[in-house]
Structures are given as structure tokens and as C-alpha cells.
Amino acid sequence: MSDVARMFAALELVRRRLNKAIPTQQLSLLLAVAENPGITMPELCRLLDMPQGTVSRNVKMLSHYIDRSAQGVLRPRGYGLLRTQPDRHNPLALAVYLTGKGEALVQEIERILSDRRFRHGGAAVSAGQEVVARPVGLMH
């Protein structure tokens, strides 16, 4: 299988697991965090050449958070792939890490991209496969 076909299979895996219309900004951000665990939000802005608001919004969507409806009902949101915590060196900055779900998804992407024998439509991208990260409260 060609490199392009493996990349296509990996992208289809992500689209099936998360959201068929997931923005490429979110995919780039997820992979940047996978390559740079503990990267801070300002560092992500520089690395991805994105404004702070865009990075913050996408980190939030890739994380798990609680939203309050107009009626005051609390609802879980986000993909649960990232988590943030104060940076060790600068407590005013947030460091970003993959969660267990995020690590599992990235490992599967790496497996698809490295497996020369991988076939598109095989077990790795079948529709019936267990979901690693289910979007909560998001439109598909």
C-alpha cells in the first residue's frame, strides 16, 4: 500500500472515531501534542502559526469539559483526547498532554502509517470497531 493510501486510511480512522467533519486544525494540534508532550499553549501557537484563541478553542474541543445549557443543565462535551495542567516551569501557562484515549488513537494512527501490509477497509478502519474516543455533545 502506498504512503498516500496509508495516510488516507489513518485520516478515515480519525474521521470515523471522532467526527466526519473534524477540522484539520484539530488534527494538527492533536499530532503536535503527541510529538511534544507538555507543550504549552503559547508554544502551540508558535508551532502551528495559529492565534491564541484558535489554539485555546481547539484544545478545549479535544479535551473533556462541562458545558451549562441555557436551562442550567450541565452537559459533558469534547473528545477527551487532551488534558491541560499548569506548566512546571511557568505556572501561568498551561501545558497540554494526551489522555489515555488520545495516546491510543495516536498509536493506532502510527500503526497504520508504519504497516506496509495494511489494507484500506481492513480491521483498523472497519465501521464496527470499538470506539477509542466518542465525541460527547457535538454535532456530527
pLDDT computed for residue 32 by the predictor: 97
Confidence (pTM) = 0.77
For the chain, what is the mean pLDDT? 85
- What's the 3-state SS for the chain? CCHHHHHHHHHHHHHHHCCCCCCHHHHHHHHHHHHCCCEEHHHHHHHHCCCHHHHHHHHHHHCCEEEECCCCCEEEEECCCEEEEECCCCCCCEEEEECHHHHHHHHHHHHHHHCCCCCCCCHHHCCCCCCCCCCECCCC
Question: Tens digit of pLDDT for each residue in 70-115?
Answer: 999 999 999 999 999 999 999 899 999 999 999 999 999 999 888 7
Q: Tell me: domain 3-122, CATH 1.10.10.10, correct?
A: yes
| Least confident residue range of 8-17, 76-85, 121-130 | 121-130
Q: Is residue 140's pLDDT more than 90?
A: no
